[in-house]
Amino acid sequence: MKKLAFKKNRHKSTGGKILVVAAVLIFMMFSAGCFFMIQKDYAAGIVLAVNSGACNCTKNKCVNMEKLVRDFISEKNLGDKVRITVVDLQKGEDAQKVMDKYQMGLIPYMVIINKEETVVYRAGISDVNWDTVLESLKKILDESGGAK
């Protein structure tokens, strides 16, 4: 009687590899998408360009500006209406694309955008006029109905 020989499967399972590639692609799409849009639940957005890899002087300015912006939004009770997006130049090419899109200058730099992603106000750290920031945000909120 002849023995049956089973051939080993020469084709290794690619299921694990496909899963890893799919996870990486989903992460990349999500990361890129976060840079280029305000969540539609928010009427206004602040895009803040920083550089965590800069010299200490610039890095400190970036940290301070982010804190100032967050404190200002919190103090004015706008946290549920204004989305803050921090774009770090140290994190890759997408950050540069965002800076180009909004024509941002030297870092740290801030732009206020409406729901259509139109720039309403822009300023570097030394040029920020907080009264104008508040006026710009209120105008956007009034035009959009004032709520989420």
pTM over 0.85, yes/no: no
Amino acid at 100: D
Q: Please tell me the predicted confidence (pLDDT) of residue 38.
A: 40
Confidence band for 51, pLDDT divided at 50, 70 and 90: confident
Q: What is the pLDDT of residue 89?
A: 86
pLDDT of residue 56: 86
3-state secondary structure at position 49: strand
Query: Nearest CA to 127 among 109, 139, 103?
Result: 109
Closest CA to 107 of 131, 126, 80, 92: 126
Q: Which of 60, 39, 71, 17 is nearest to 148 (CA)?
A: 39
Class of domain 41-143: alpha beta
Domain boundaries, the chain: 41-143
